[in-house]
Amino acid sequence: MSETASKHQQQEHQQQSAVLKPGTSAPDFTLHSKPGESVSLSQFRGRPTILAFYPADFSPVCGDQMTLYNEVLPEFEKFNAQLIGISVDGVWSHLAFSKDRKLRFPILSDFEPKGEVARNYGVYRKQDGMTERALFVIDKDGIIRWSYVSPIGTNPGAEGILNALESNAGPREHG
Amino acid sequence: METEIVKLTIPVSHRDHIQGKDTAPLTLVEYGDYECPYCGQAYPIIKQVQKHFGPKLRFVFRNFPVSQIHPHAQHAAETAECAATQNKFWEMHNYLYEHQQALDDKHLEKYASELGLDLTRFKNDMSMHVHAARVREDFLSGVRSGVNGTPTFYIDNIRYNGSWDLETLGNIWVHY
């Protein structure tokens, strides 16, 4: 099947690009979350942060992925972790998407220069002009503890994130 | 579709809602949401698949309400769980999928009444959210098993990533 072949190409591509690995310091960034509002990674220092890069607002799989994370949010919060979604879509698209899916976490626009943050994390797909479907769990000191690049059409679910938070992000905080 | 094998972390047990015998050679587990239109589409297909396989198939349903986009899904799931405590889980399960377009609290109570549930108990359970913990337990077991949307199916503890139309599901026997 050509689909399988393209999956292989994808995997090869992933291996070739330099996805930031565990142990690496997470590059800081400041991106727009809403028109007129910005969010920086460094403002979450002191608590674990989950970065979820996704290819595009409103594409069916992404919808499921962000919708799923929205539901799992209380579990992330048990680790005091902050979830951040990132795609190359503009703020107005994000606003509509966030409203439609009733998202309770920020989604940021890696819009100008396009994909710069994704490039810094090694998860930009130049050939498509969008980011990989990639996950990073960053600890309270700003060190990447887990990273994962999913096949672009596959929702990676939340299990990997929860496992990473459990094993890497320090003791679970209750409350 | 993908090579990664994703497994059900909580095996089927007596806590589950099960149709069919424990000795059935094939087990199909669904994580579903009563308000999800795709689950609604899958509902009659599952019925046909059950008919097709007969006693060879055991079917299990677990709750996976996606509440932020389906505002009635959580209460609908609690309604089904409440019915379960009155030995009417599958009656309610069917009823909810057959009345998917009207799942607000008023209708849920009407369905409970129509199915002959003890209404005093129903109202108490619903207002106290007695079954919310069970629904969340199902949901989290799904998250830990790689459920990434609804419906998600498992065949003999392995996540099924293929299409769930009747023709494909009818042929799963060949592959498993």
What pTM was computed for the model?
0.87
Cα distance from N-terminal residue to C-terminal residue, chain B: 15
Mean pLDDT of B172-176: 62
In chain A, the number of structural domains is 1
Q: How far is A46 from chain B (nearest CA, A)?
A: 26
- Average pLDDT over chain B reads 93
Tokens of A2: 């050509």
Determine, yes or no, domain membership for B10. no
- Of A87, A54, A52, nearest to A73 by C-alpha is A52
Predicted confidence band of residue A170 (pLDDT cuts 50, 70, 90): low
* Cβ-based neighbour number of residue B133 at 10 Å: 11
Q: How far apart are CA A29 and CA A118, in angstroms?
A: 10
Q: How far is residue B88's CA from residue B79's CA, in Å, rounded to a whole number? A: 10
| Mean of pLDDT values over A54-81 | 89
For residue B54, give the DSSP letter: G
Beta carbons of A102 and B144 less than 8 Å apart: no
Q: Which two tokens stand for residue A58?
A: 């409103």
Decide: B36 and B67 in contact? Cβ < 8 Å: no
Chain B interface residues (partner A, CB cutoff 8 A): 1-3, 66-69, 139-140, 143-149
Q: Residue A58: give its domain's CATH number.
A: 3.40.30.10
Nearest residue, CB atoms, A159 vs list B3, B144, B149:
B144
Task: State pLDDT tens for residues A114-136.
Answer: 999 999 999 999 999 999 999 99
Helix pair B132-143, A60-77: axis angle to 10 deg: 120
* B9 domain residue, yes or no: no
Position A171 pLDDT exceeds 70: no
Domain assignment present for B159 = yes
Q: How far is CA B91 from CA A86, A94, B130, in A?
A: 43, 41, 20
User: Which of B2, B3, B143 lies closest to A159 in CB terms?
Assistant: B143
Residue A95 within any structural domain of the chain: yes
Q: Give the three-class secondary structure for A101.
A: helix
Q: Are A110 and A131 in contact (CB under 8 A)?
A: yes
Q: What three-state secondary structure class fits B124?
A: helix
Q: Which of A62, A84, A117, A149 is catalytic?
A: A62
Tell whether B7 is covered by a domain. Answer: no
Domain that holds residue A64: 2-168
Helix (H) / strand (E) containing A60: helix A60-77
Query: Could you tell me what percent of chain A has a pLDDT over 70?
Result: 85
Q: Which domain holds residue B160?
A: 19-171
**How many domains is chain B partitioned into structurally?**
1
pLDDT tens for each residue of B75-129? 999 999 999 999 999 999 999 999 999 999 999 999 999 999 999 999 999 999 9
CA-CA distance, B49 to B170, in Å (whole number)? Answer: 6
- State the CATH number of the domain containing residue B162: 3.40.30.10
The two tokens of residue A123 are: 């998860």
